[in-house]
Every structure is written in structure tokens, then in C-alpha cells.
Amino acid sequence: MRPYPWYEINGLTLELEPYAAYASARVHFERCYQPEPDRVITDQSLADSIRDDEERYGWISGDPIVRDIVHSLWSSPDELAKFDQINREYMDGFRGRAHVDQARIHLMTACLGLGDFEDEAVTKKLLKTEAKELWTRAWLRSEKKFFPSRTELDAASKRIAPNVADKFHWSDAFRDLGLLDMPSFREQD
């Protein structure tokens, strides 16, 4: 088995990698940037919020995706245009792409997102589960639901292509990415 990121580097993955890398960075960013829980706003809570913003959101300027955007803005406007195009597709949930391309992008994003895992722990089943979760969130994002509840996620999950189709061709996506040799399942400790 190849080491992280596990997928094969070939023409197809090189073409899709900017989308997967961007999606992975955005997923990380969005996990860090969660909205505040609903609460009653008082004069004191508003004052506390204003005073604590630097501490609460100070990390944003150091986040890799923000640094890439700022660097592109300063040094390479063409790169910023590429970021914009990738971001537009990301925000649209990659819906403009064929289902197999959506599966590939989400599988590659899952690979990148599971980088902290030991190689032996990553299986096709884990990658497929992660990819389906990313796919569901992508479709909700395209519907302007950025922080969905578990109920919304479960309902949307029933609408994505792999869960609607009688037989979705995961094996084609795994083959195209060079992931066929990954184990399907491992017993967990």
C-alpha cells in the first residue's frame, strides 16, 4: 500500500487534487470556525463578545487557507482567480461535475483529511464513509446550509448519488485513484 495520501499520483489525480486539497483545507477551517451557540444576548454578553473576538478569532490569520489567499492576493492574482474558481465549485457542492468526479474528489479529500491516521487503519470502508459524509455536507452547502444539524445531515444523506442509485460504482472511483489495493475492512483494536 502506498503511504499517505494513499491515492496514486496520475493525470486524473493531478487534475482533481487542487479541488480535494482546497476542500480538505476548507473542511479544517470550517471545523475551527463554528458559530456561537444560540444564547440570549445581553449588554454584558455583547461587550464580552467584542472584547474576546481577538482571542476567539485570532487563529484565522494563521490558518493555512487564509495565508494562501492573502499570499495569492499580494503576489499572484492569477492564483487568486484559480482559488475563486475552485471555491465556486466547492460552494456549489461540486454539483456541476459528474457523480463519479464528485466521488473521486470526496475520496481524495477523505484521504487528505485522514492524514493523522496510521496507514494500517485506513480502509476502503473508512474512506467511503468519510467521502459520503463530505458529499452530504457538500450538497447541503450548495443549498446554503453551512452548519447542518444531525437531522439535516441524515435527511440529505438519503439524497446523494451513492445512496440513491441502485448500484453506485465505487469500485471505478477507487480504481481510478489507485486505491483498489487498499483493504476493505480491518478488525479494530
Residue that wins the pLDDT comparison between 33 and 168: 168
Radius of gyration (Cα) for the chain, nearest Å?
A: 19
From 110, 116, 147, select the one nearest 130 (Cα to Cα).
110
Give me the percent of the chain exceeding a pLDDT of 90.
Answer: 47
* pLDDT surpasses 60 at 37: no
List, for residues 73-132, the tens digit of each pLDDT value.
778 888 888 889 999 999 999 999 999 999 999 999 999 999 888 888 889 999 999 999
How far apart (Å, rounded) are the C-alpha atoms in residues 46 and 43?
Answer: 5
pTM of the predicted model as reported, rounded to 2 decimal places: 0.79
Angstrom distance (rounded) from CA 107 to CA 173: 8
